Chain A
């Protein structure tokens, strides 16, 4: 279990309450698994950016597709004090 990953899935559930994140494969792209469109995904990234007070430059967005991608990105870019 990874607390950051769990927090990201909780944020996902907030912005897309009609998807069930419990069965998500954390290594696979989220949009394909959960039928998220670009608007949903932008909202998820915005929620992550706000939650961790961490900018996500546009140039980085294309590489952030799975929960594992997002978790690694948050843990690399957000201050340790802000995680948790």
Chain B
């Protein structure tokens, strides 16, 4: 028998809530199939089966919060006899932490505001798709439902610090641990983007919009390939030892407009073309916004890339996301003064930064890595 357990998004995640099952006992599932949906501090995510088999028993009822690692379901192999052990609603394999209120279909923005205002989503009538509670429902709840809601706190003063949230708590815990435990070193490297942008302009000129490649995808591809030269930046520091990863699963930091960020992974990024990366990144961003990430995408990143250039940041000094050992940052692609043939000319450049773990690598190797990214971006046709 195999078990499907509550996954962990990191060492700081302690529990999660099962929201719904997508399978029932007796269903055949293949490795990678989505079997259920769970809500964690940082995200709602789809749980995948990590084996082929038949669902033997569902062990946890939707709406139940359980600790990380708790068995949620049992899988049996084809031909294996069904288990005689009872299913969890009568005999849970692990104690439920606490019952949760029924899930209300709602947008992330609505959930955040409702939490800040102390309004129960279940008390509101949703006006969104399929009756979902959306932001406007929370901002101006109808009088008939407002009366049933607890007294709302005054709207948050924008000058005040953000209120605590599970997402903020999770980020704070992970980043505090990173700053406390990881001896970071930081490097920066200014890279010419002239050839890369010219290449993209030519490539995109005759493409439909949805097929055009964004500059950020070129940067992701360059990072993935540069890791072949400096592979020690791609891996994990776990229990006092370094474990290099043979696969490059590139975490792409995605900010949530409701606050916080998630860095889901593009799996095997070094084996994917620019078109594949663009397609997968678009899909990943859309599912991040919709709270539909898969557990494997949230747990498997071997290195993270974060880009803050779209709002004008020139460079950033990111914090490593443990247990990873490196993170790459990209600032805005800007025209900067550049010496070319003895003259100072405006030239499109990007500042690439690296924060890496000194327990695993040194600045010299980090410098080679940023240099490898630079070289790759000077030959964009090979990306």
Cβ of B241 within 8 Å of any chain A Cβ, yes or no, is: no
Which residues of chain A come closer than 8 Å to B136, judged between CB atoms? 20, 22
The chain B residues found within 8 Å of chain A, CB to CB, are 107-109, 128, 134-136, 139, 201, 204-205, 207-210, 212, 214, 216, 255-258, 281-282, 285-286, 289-290, 310
User: CB < 8 Å: which of B139, B208, B258, B285 contacts A39?
Assistant: B285
Offer 10 A-B interface pairs, CB within 8 angstroms, sorted by A: A17-B107, A34-B257, A35-B255, A38-B310, A39-B281, A42-B209, A42-B212, A42-B214, A49-B208, A49-B209
Whether B282 pairs with A39 at a CB distance below 8 angstroms is yes
Given A17-B107, A20-B139, 17 further pairs, Cβ under 8 A: A16-B289, A17-B128, A17-B290, A18-B108, A19-B257, A20-B136, A34-B257, A35-B257, A38-B310, A39-B282, A43-B210, A43-B282, A43-B286, A46-B209, A49-B210, A58-B207, A58-B212
Instruction: Give the CA-CA distance A20 to B109 in the complex, in Å.
Output: 8
Question: How far in angstroms is the closest Cβ of chain A from B283?
Answer: 10
Whether A18 pairs with B210 at a CB distance below 8 angstroms is no
Whether A18 pairs with B282 at a CB distance below 8 angstroms is no
Proximity bits, A40-75, B CB within 8 Å = 1, else 0: 101101100100000111110100000000000000
Cβ of A37 within 8 Å of any chain B Cβ, yes or no, is: yes
Instruction: Give the CA-CA distance A26 to B256 in the complex, in Å.
Output: 23
Question: How far in angstroms is the closest Cβ of chain A from B121?
Answer: 15
Whether A45 pairs with B285 at a CB distance below 8 angstroms is no
Question: How far in angstroms is the closest Cβ of chain A from B167?
Answer: 13
Instruction: Give the CA-CA distance A33 to B255 in the complex, in Å.
Output: 15
Whether A19 pairs with B216 at a CB distance below 8 angstroms is no
| A45: nearest chain-B partner, CB-CB | B209
Assuming A38-B310, A39-B214, A43-B286, is B209 touching A18 (CB within 8 A)?
no
Which residues of chain B come closer than 8 Å to A58, judged between CB atoms? 201, 204-205, 207, 212
Interface of B is mostly: helix
Which residues of chain A come closer than 8 Å to B210, judged between CB atoms? 42-43, 46, 49
The chain A residues found within 8 Å of chain B, CB to CB, are 15-20, 22, 31, 34-35, 37-40, 42-43, 45-46, 49, 55-59, 61
Whether A18 pairs with B204 at a CB distance below 8 angstroms is no
Instruction: Give the CA-CA distance A24 to B72 in the complex, in Å.
Output: 43
Whether A37 pairs with B209 at a CB distance below 8 angstroms is no
Question: How far in angstroms is the closest Cβ of chain B from A83?
Answer: 19
Instruction: Give the CA-CA distance A59 to B202 in the complex, in Å.
Output: 11
Assuming A18-B258, A20-B135, A22-B136, is B214 touching A55 (CB within 8 A)?
no
Whether A18 pairs with B214 at a CB distance below 8 angstroms is no
Question: How far in angstroms is the closest Cβ of chain A from B15?
Answer: 25
Instruction: Give the CA-CA distance A18 to B210 in the complex, in Å.
Output: 21
Instruction: Give the CA-CA distance A22 to B140 in the complex, in Å.
Output: 13
Question: How far in angstroms is the closest Cβ of chain A from B21?
Answer: 24
Whether A56 pairs with B107 at a CB distance below 8 angstroms is no
Which residues of chain B come closer than 8 Å to A34, judged between CB atoms? 257
List 5 A-B pairs, minimum CB-CB distance, nearest first: A46-B210, A20-B135, A46-B209, A18-B108, A18-B109
Which residues of chain A come closer than 8 Å to B256, judged between CB atoms? 18
Whether A37 pairs with B135 at a CB distance below 8 angstroms is no
Which residues of chain B come closer than 8 Å to A56, judged between CB atoms? 209
Question: How far in angstroms is the closest Cβ of chain A from B248?
Answer: 21
Question: How far in angstroms is the closest Cβ of chain B from A54?
Answer: 10
Which residues of chain B come closer than 8 Å to A19, judged between CB atoms? 109, 257
Instruction: Give the CA-CA distance A49 to B136 in the complex, in Å.
Output: 28
Whether A55 pairs with B205 at a CB distance below 8 angstroms is no
| A34: nearest chain-B partner, CB-CB | B257
Which residues of chain A come closer than 8 Å to B109, judged between CB atoms? 18-20
Question: How far in angstroms is the closest Cβ of chain A from B131?
Answer: 14
Whether A37 pairs with B205 at a CB distance below 8 angstroms is no
User: CB < 8 Å: which of A15, A20, A38, A55 contacts B134?
Assistant: A20
Instruction: Give the CA-CA distance A61 to B286 in the complex, in Å.
Output: 21
| B209: nearest chain-A partner, CB-CB | A46
Instruction: Give the CA-CA distance A16 to B254 in the complex, in Å.
Output: 14
| B128: nearest chain-A partner, CB-CB | A17
Whether B257 pairs with A38 at a CB distance below 8 angstroms is no
Instruction: Give the CA-CA distance A57 to B108 in the complex, in Å.
Output: 33
Which residues of chain B come closer than 8 Å to A45, judged between CB atoms? 209
